[in-house]
Amino acid sequence: MRLSLNQITTRDWSLAEAVRGCVDAGIPAIGLWRDKVAETGVATAAKLVRDAGLAVSTLCRGGFLTAQGPEGRRAALAENLRALEEAAELGTDTLVMVVGGLPEGSRDLVGARARVAELLAELAPHAGDFGVRLAIEPLHPMFCADRAVVSTLGQALDLAEQFPVEQVGVVVDSYHVWWDPDLERQIARAGARIASYQVCDWTLPLPADALLGRGHVGDGHIDFTGMTALVAAAGYTGWIEVEIFNEQVWRTPGADTLRTVIERHRTHVETP
Amino acid sequence: MRLSLNQITTRDWSLAEAVRGCVDAGIPAIGLWRDKVAETGVATAAKLVRDAGLAVSTLCRGGFLTAQGPEGRRAALAENLRALEEAAELGTDTLVMVVGGLPEGSRDLVGARARVAELLAELAPHAGDFGVRLAIEPLHPMFCADRAVVSTLGQALDLAEQFPVEQVGVVVDSYHVWWDPDLERQIARAGARIASYQVCDWTLPLPADALLGRGHVGDGHIDFTGMTALVAAAGYTGWIEVEIFNEQVWRTPGADTLRTVIERHRTHVETP
């Protein structure tokens, strides 16, 4: 089974609880979040995961590269270097990058995107040194203003292709890209650039906080059979990470959530 | 002034009130909605607008072409033929088309898009006969599941270009397309296909009903100076329609709303 639990899916679990939950449920990998890792410290977190025999599919997340001015730029570089170091220590080869939205008061999308490209160019060689790949995650266009000025897989690839394939890749997250009329072509184009395949479903209505509208695989409008086939055809054989932001899922006991995750994974994504 | 008031912006006004409001405010054109027109009847509505000396920039809206099966298809065709006839009688050359989302229970985006293309092919010659252009409106990707499986200007143009330019065009609506990394290229490509330029702003947070999150020009994150320049460079010289779905705007007295609309239009869109 190529299933990985992204830690946000069981948000209220500590890292130790999430690791135990994965082991108990037979999930072989986990995607970690930096805030959860920080609660135990990186070294302890790395040991916890390693001792449990889990793979670390990704570390979430680096990015936020759109700040203006030398100070914002230095801070972003420093933060991402720390994230790369943590990723290496945690034993994952993938740092998920959410590139950041428009700075406060700015309407200059072109400028913000240019700054993303510039900082990626500074970070990419360091990523190579750490043996960790920067995985640019296009976010759904509804997050363009406040979270990510990279909105499509094509745009993420335009950026990634400026760097060696082992330094910069892309994330294919079903929730963010399912609507894209160019999806088939862009997934094929992505090929070995695919650093992570993340899944959760598009459900309606959107909740008051649009960030939290993601559903279990199978509860919404996304054709996972089709999308998974495209990702496979592109040559991706890595982890398939379930990443759900959803208040109702978060209120559910973690073990129950994991049962649903595994069942839906087998039904819709990876048939045994 | 090339400003047109899309009637939804003053939702609680009847057609007669909206016409009077435009005349009083010095707004030379109006974009009509079929439900409002139906309240007075098409002939009366046409006379009201004509007697007031207003141009009719668009009729909103036709579309919803994704139904499955012969019955749904026949119903959609009939409804759009009625809309074309109304548009002609109202004296506008533009019928805005919202193409429809996924049918209940379907996850087949490719199929839904194919049905849009098929029905457009049936409708286009009729549009030509009526002297009315079908204006395909790409909707923001967050409406892909429930309202429009056409999400980008490029995708709308791929469809429109299969037909004569006088039969099928596209709408450039700032709210729906502002995030698109390919926007500059696609607006230039659109050229004479641009049948309508609609404006309102992207404001955050999104409200509980994501449909109603649009703000007055200048209240959000969109660079209207830049977008308007692109539309002008593409050769568009038609009406610029202000279309705002927003509960707070709807609670504001119409005359006040029109004052804001005009002020923002002059500041951000069309400098006198």
Asked if A102 reaches chain B (Cβ–Cβ under 8 Å), the answer is yes
User: Looking at chain A, which residue has its C-alpha nearest residue B208?
Assistant: A208
**Which helix (H) or strand (E) covers residue B156, if one does?**
helix B153-160
- Amino acid letter at A157? L
Give the global pTM.
0.96
How close, in Å, is residue B194 to chain A by CA atoms? 20
- What pLDDT does A178 receive? 98
Q: What is the pLDDT of residues B109-128, one digit of tens each?
A: 999 999 999 999 999 999 99
Residues B222, A140: C-beta atoms closer than 8 Å: no
Q: What is the pLDDT of residues A94-120, one digit of tens each?
A: 999 999 999 999 999 999 999 999 999
- Crossing angle of the two packed helices B254-264 and B15-25, in degrees rounded to 10: 50
- What pLDDT does A209 receive? 86
**Rounded CA separation A253/A242 (Å):** 16
Share of chain A above pLDDT 70, in %: 100
Average pLDDT, chain A: 97
Of A120, A118, A115, the C-alpha closest to A137 is: A120
Q: What is the pLDDT of residues B235-272, one digit of tens each?
A: 999 999 999 999 999 999 999 999 999 999 999 999 86
Eight-class DSSP state of B205: S
Eight-class DSSP state of A93: S
Alpha helices in chain A (DSSP H): 15-25, 34-40, 42-51, 69-90, 109-130, 153-160, 174-177, 183-190, 224-233, 247-251, 254-264
- Amino acid letter at A143? F
How close, in Å, is residue B152 to chain A by CA atoms? 8
Residues whose CB is less than 8 angstroms from the CB of residue A89 and which lie 6 or more positions away in sequence, other chains included = A42, A43, A46
Asked if B105 reaches chain A (Cβ–Cβ under 8 Å), the answer is no
Rounded average pLDDT over A245-262: 97
User: Looking at chain B, which residue has its C-alpha nearest residue A143?
Assistant: B179
Tokens of A203: 């459900």
Residues B145, A220: C-beta atoms closer than 8 Å: yes
Q: What is the pLDDT of residues B31-88, one digit of tens each?
A: 999 999 999 999 999 999 999 999 999 999 999 999 999 999 999 999 999 999 999 9
Enter the ipTM.
0.95
- What pLDDT does A272 receive? 66
Categorize the per-residue pLDDT at A57 as very low, low, confident or very high, splitting at 50, 70 and 90.
Answer: very high
- Amino acid letter at B66? T
